[in-house]
Amino acid sequence: MDETNMIPPQNPGTGRTIARHKAKLAACAAIVAVLGAGAVLAAEKPAPNALMTPVVDLSTPARTEQAVPSFANLVERVKPAVVSVFVKAEEVDQVSNPFSGGQNPFEGTPFQGLPFQFGPQSGQGKPQTHLMQAQGSGFFISADGYLITNNHVVEHAKSVEIMTTDGKRYKAKVAGTDPKTDLALLKVAGSNDFPYVRLATKSPRIGDWVVAMGNPFGLGGTVTAGIVSANGRDIGSGPYDDFIQIDAPINKGNSGGPTFNQNGEVVGVNTAIFSPSGGSVGIAFDIPAETVKYVSEQLRDSGHVTRGWIGVSIQPVTADIADSLGLKEAKGALVDEPQDGGPAAQAGLKSQDVIVSVNDHEIKDGRDLARTIAAVKPGQQITISYIRNGEKHSLDLNVGQYPDGKSAQNTPSTDDDFKLGMTLAPANEVDGAGTHGAVVMNVDPEGTAAEKGIQQGDVILSVGGKSVSGPGDVKRALKEARKDSKRAVLMQLKTAQGDRFVAVPTTREG
């Protein structure tokens, strides 16, 4: 009997609907079976029925080759230049004795009388040194054996070895490193015909296809593809952050590997990922080729990077700041405080000046200024345009050389006016401190700061509810609080244990 004849006559369309649904369910079940088993199953063709519409026509390809790009030719061409990097580095562990001082940890328990030994024993509490192994990726940039990787891959290396895609191994030397951009240049000797790739001369556009290559989890020679998700990302790793964000899967071991455009040019170096789990979640960050070129050339010539410096701490121009200064747009870099004796101070730049251009290059924000000045050769003269009291001015100054190490320690800002007993420095000029706030460089053990529990390395994030970007902001916030007759003000600190607030006095002491 035909099942459709069992449907009440007052609803003749229902029979067709049920038959259609059953056909769809049968087709879907067949598709699920194919996908789950990973094999092609043969099925009997259903009886012809003009009322049945196939859910999926398996005889027609879902996508054509023109719709989905193939990177096979690109990969075949550039893969020989990509290498796996293996590093042996020395690591020192500080071994501490939890029972030092002779105290019985079982005091007051039934075990307190047992003959345990407490206090440091022979050979305990001494630093222990061992070799650790690390791995990453890299790529040749010249036929004579120079290759690029990340600084964090070869940091503290005792020995470095690379392996090419055909399995050949070579010893490599670290020719130079630049921690501020997390780049390192390696040199492999013994040949002048290494396959190499070129750095792109143009930045990729958002939405462009890219291919990432490297040594994830030690597997070697792995290729992933995706698109450029964003440009100019600041992830808080240093003052020169300008990362390309891509969604090509990047994992541990990919660090230092190249990301290619469709022309086979390197657009970036795989450096960091955002991941709650430690694995790829589709958010990865690359150092742009422009930065790689600038850094690698200096590392090849001298083994280190020399950067320009004008001696200012800066902060971004927000919409509120733009309104208060009479600016039409929230662009430029606000001078927080010129460092005494620095090129900017000597040339006449003052606090609250807004730098809007350098040599006719428009300055978008503080990071743009930092990168622009860093790229200038020390000793070269530049023209800076700035806005002061609503009027545009310009001046010429000779760029200095960025001091070695933590430059802020060379010209610390003190809080003598408030006698808190600490020296401060802009966070964006102290390695590892981030881009916002004022870092506590030194603390007087007898001062008010020490009494409040403030320690060296703490970062002041805000004072009196106002965010700070450097020592000048801290001083101004304290002065405003004193002007408002406040005897104390809350100071937000970022510490090793997390953020916390302390109340510091605004009145002079001593």
- Residue from 137, 229, 255, 407 carrying the catalytic annotation: 255
Q: Are 128 and 90 in contact (CB under 8 A)?
A: no
Q: List the catalytic residue out of 137, 152, 462, 469.
A: 152
Domains of the chain: 1-59 (no CATH), 80-95+126-305 (2.40.10.120), 308-401 (2.30.42.10), 407-505 (2.30.42.10)
Can you give the pLDDT at residue 275? 77
pLDDT attached to residue 184: 97
| Successive 10-residue mean pLDDT values, the chain, 510 residues | 40 45 47 37 46 52 62 96 93 48 49 47 54 91 97 93 94 94 94 95 96 91 95 80 93 94 97 81 93 95 92 84 85 86 92 92 90 91 94 94 53 51 80 79 79 87 86 84 80 83 69
Q: What is the pLDDT of residue 404?
A: 59
Residue 182 bears catalytic tag: yes
pTM: 0.62
How confident is the model at residue 427, as a pLDDT? 81
379-386: long-range pairs with CB below 8 Å, 24+:
380/308, 382/358, 383/358, 383/359, 384/310, 384/347, 384/349, 384/355, 384/357, 384/358, 385/355, 385/356, 385/357, 385/358, 386/332, 386/335, 386/349, 386/353, 386/354, 386/355, 386/356
Contact status, residue 223 vs residue 209, Cβ threshold 8 Å: no
255 is catalytic: yes
Catalytic residue among 137, 178, 182, 413: 182
